[in-house]
């Protein structure tokens, strides 16, 4: 049967990147998406903004919602301090299977815990399953209609502390209007929009960074 796009992306990484070199994995995926097939990775333009926020926060505890093929997982994990791990959540087992291989190819498997399942189930389990009290940094890149219910779930589960940083992808395209309205109008968040473009296109998109104020 015909291969899937994530499988073709993995082949491109294995062909064009250097094992254990995260930068080459990132470049190989971007090259594949620009020259062969578009895919919903955060991409190089928004990825650079992601890099700068992660570097600024220098988090000890990290959660990513929406692994897909592991592109942003690799971008984040390569910047973490030694001994710091990130938890990434993927709903689609086929995506997760490819992501595990791409993360391993980059040599970052020891910094990543990939969990399969829906955020609505995982978020309430995080404290007991992973011994985490609060997150320093959360990257939202999953179902766009789950951003708002999940940020409320983070609050209810006590997973945010003064200064926790949430960075949300796709707030313009496909768009997360209810989430934007909430974080921009809530007295509990300080929000800032980083304009960019939908990955590998000229379509407007951007990232919203929201700091929890307690």
Catalytic residue numbers read 141, 144, 169-170, 199
Partner that binds at residue 63, options Mg ion, ligand 763, none, CB closer than 5 to 8 Å by kind = none
| Least distance CB 42 / Mg ion (angstroms) | 5
Over the window 159 to 198, marking each residue x when it contacts ligand 763 by CB under 6 A and - when it does not, the resulting string is ----------xx--xx-----------------------x
Cα 8 from Cα 5, distance rounded (Å): 5
Query: How far apart, in Å, are the Cα atoms of 143 and each of 2, 100, 157?
Result: 26, 20, 20
| Least distance CB 37 / ligand 763 (angstroms) | 13
Residue 72 found at the interface with ligand 763 (CB under 6 A): no
Query: How far apart, in Å, are the Cα atoms of 213 and each of 41, 112, 183?
Result: 30, 28, 11
Residue 208 found at the interface with Mg ion (CB under 5 A): no
For the chain, where are the alpha helices, taking DSSP H only? 5-16, 22-35, 43-57, 71-77, 93-105, 119-122, 126-130, 147-156, 177-185
Over the window 123 to 142, marking each residue x when it contacts Mg ion by CB under 5 A and - when it does not, the resulting string is ------------------x-
């Amino acid at each position: 049967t015909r291969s899937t796009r994530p499988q073709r992306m993995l082949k491109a990484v294995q062909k064009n990147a250097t094992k254990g070199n995260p930068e080459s994995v990132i470049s190989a995926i971007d090259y594949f998406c620009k020259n062969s097939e578009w895919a919903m990775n955060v991409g190089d333009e928004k990825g650079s903004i992601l890099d700068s926020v992660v570097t600024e926060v220098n988090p000890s505890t990290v959660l990513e919602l929406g692994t897909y093929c592991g592109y942003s997982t690799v971008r984040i994990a390569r910047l973490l301090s030694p001994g710091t791990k990130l938890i990434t959540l993927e709903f689609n087992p086929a995506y997760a299977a490819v992501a595990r291989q791409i993360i391993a190819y980059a040599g970052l498997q020891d910094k990543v815990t990939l969990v399969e399942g829906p955020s609505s189930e995982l978020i309430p389990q995080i404290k007991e399953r992973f011994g985490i009290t609060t997150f320093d940094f959360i990257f939202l890149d999953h179902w766009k209609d789950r951003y708002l219910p999940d940020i409320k779930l983070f609050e209810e589960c006590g997973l945010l502390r003064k200064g926790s940083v949430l960075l949300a992808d796709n707030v313009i395209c496909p768009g997360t209007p209810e989430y934007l309205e909430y974080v921009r109008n809530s007295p509990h968040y300080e929000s800032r929009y980083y304009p960019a473009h939908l990955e590998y296109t000229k379509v407007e998109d951007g990232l919203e960074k929201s700091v929890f104020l307690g």
